[in-house]
């Protein structure tokens, strides 16, 4: 069992197919989100302060995620009744209606995704899995129980991946506020050295700017 818990899916892998019980009924992942991006995020436990702040933060940004064709799914190893009562508590006490589903995991999902780390206890760590419309894992993040996530960064990740996919570009550090090139994006370097002169010609023509042949950038 411990070996299974330590399995970790890799970037570029297909998200493993699974049927899950949620606060919105049974769901199939990734099938029910075919053609959409989705984020599956785990939290250690219901009725805990850091997790409560995280669910409120996600809900406050849910419309922004949906504008990006991206859905949200929460998860912990609590029972579905605990999820439902916790969601009710958040609504009654914080006036925030958690509208995305929460998976009630018996341990099978956590084992498949490798999100119970024995060195951090028996509950799920704060994992984030960003999955694209083809069902492939594009980003994986892990946070310890004591550290709440930065949800603006998770939103930025989805935006950046979508822009990169659409335009065939890469995104610099801290995009769109990079210290060197601001909100511009990186033109991937040519793997063929014979094309370097052509690359400089394109730079001279104003298609993009370059620090060197391997570091070119442009506005979208």
| CB neighbour class for 22 (10 Å; exposed up to 12, middle 13-18, buried from 19) | buried
* Residue 190 pLDDT: 76
The catalytic position among 51, 70, 210, 216 is: 51
Domain count, the chain: 2
Residue 176: is the preceding peptide bond cis (ω within 30°)? yes
Same domain? 115 vs 204: no
- Alpha-carbon span 2 to 7, nearest angstrom: 9
Radius of gyration of the chain (CA): 20
Q: Do 111 and 185 have their domain in common?
A: no
* CATH number of the domain residue 190 falls in: 3.30.1020.10
pLDDT tens column, 86-98: 999 999 999 999 9
Residues 22 and 27: their CA atoms lie apart, in Å, by 7
Window from 80-84, 124-128, 189-193 with minimum mean pLDDT: 189-193
pTM over 0.75: yes
Whole-number Å distance between alpha carbons of 116 and 41: 13
Q: Which of 197, 211, 105 is nearest to 113 (CA)?
A: 105
121 and 51 housed in the same domain: yes
| Domain limits for position 96 | 2-167
* Residue after which a domain boundary falls, among 167, 184, 201: 167
Residue that wins the pLDDT comparison between 179 and 192: 179
164 burial via Cβ count (<10 Å: 0-12, 13-18, 19+): middle
- My answer on whether 77 and 90 are in the same domain is yes
194-205 pLDDT per residue, tens: 778 878 888 888
Burial class (CB in 10 A: 0-12, 13-18, 19+), 193: exposed
Q: What's the confidence (pLDDT) of residue 67?
A: 97
pLDDT exceeds 60 at position 3: no
Q: What's the mean per-residue pLDDT of the chain?
A: 90
Three state DSSP letters for 137-148? EEEEEEECCCCC
pLDDT for 5 equals 44
User: Is 51 one of the catalytic residues?
Assistant: yes
The average pLDDT across 142-165 equals 94
Quick check: 21 and 108 in contact, CB under 8 A?
no
CATH of the domain at 31: 3.40.30.10
Residues 148 and 193 in one domain: no
* 122 confidence band (pLDDT: 50, 70, 90): low
Domain shared by 99 and 158, yes or no: yes
**One domain, residues 162 and 184:** no
Percent of the chain, pLDDT > 90?
Answer: 69
Pairing relationship of beta strands 137-143 and 185-187 according to DSSP bridges: unpaired
Work out the number of other CB atoms within 10 angstroms of the CB of residue 58.
22
């Amino acid at each position: 069992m411990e070996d299974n818990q330590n399995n970790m899916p890799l970037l570029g892998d297909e998200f493993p197919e699974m049927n899950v019980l949620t606060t919105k009924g049974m769901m199939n992942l990734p099938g029910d989100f075919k053609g959409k991006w989705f984020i599956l995020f785990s939290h250690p436990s219901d009725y805990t302060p850091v997790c409560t702040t995280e669910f409120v933060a996600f809900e406050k940004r849910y419309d922004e995620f949906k504008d990006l064709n991206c859905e949200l799914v929460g998860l912990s190893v609590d029972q579905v009744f605990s999820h439902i009562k916790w969601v009710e508590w958040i609504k009654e006490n914080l006036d925030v209606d958690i509208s995305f589903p929460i998976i009630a995991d018996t341990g099978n999902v956590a084992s498949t995704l490798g999100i119970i780390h024995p060195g951090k206890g028996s509950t799920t760590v704060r994992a984030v899995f960003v999955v694209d419309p083809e069902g492939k894992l594009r980003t994986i993040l892990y946070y310890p129980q004591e550290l709440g996530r930065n949800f603006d960064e998770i939103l930025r990740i989805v935006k950046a991946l979508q822009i990169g996919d659409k335009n065939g570009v890469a995104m610099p550090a801290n995009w769109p506020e990079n210290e060197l090139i601001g909100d511009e994006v990186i033109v991937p370097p040519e793997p063929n050295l014979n094309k370097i002169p052509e690359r400089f010609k394109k730079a001279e023509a104003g298609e993009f700017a370059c620090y060197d042949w391997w570091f070119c950038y442009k506005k979208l």
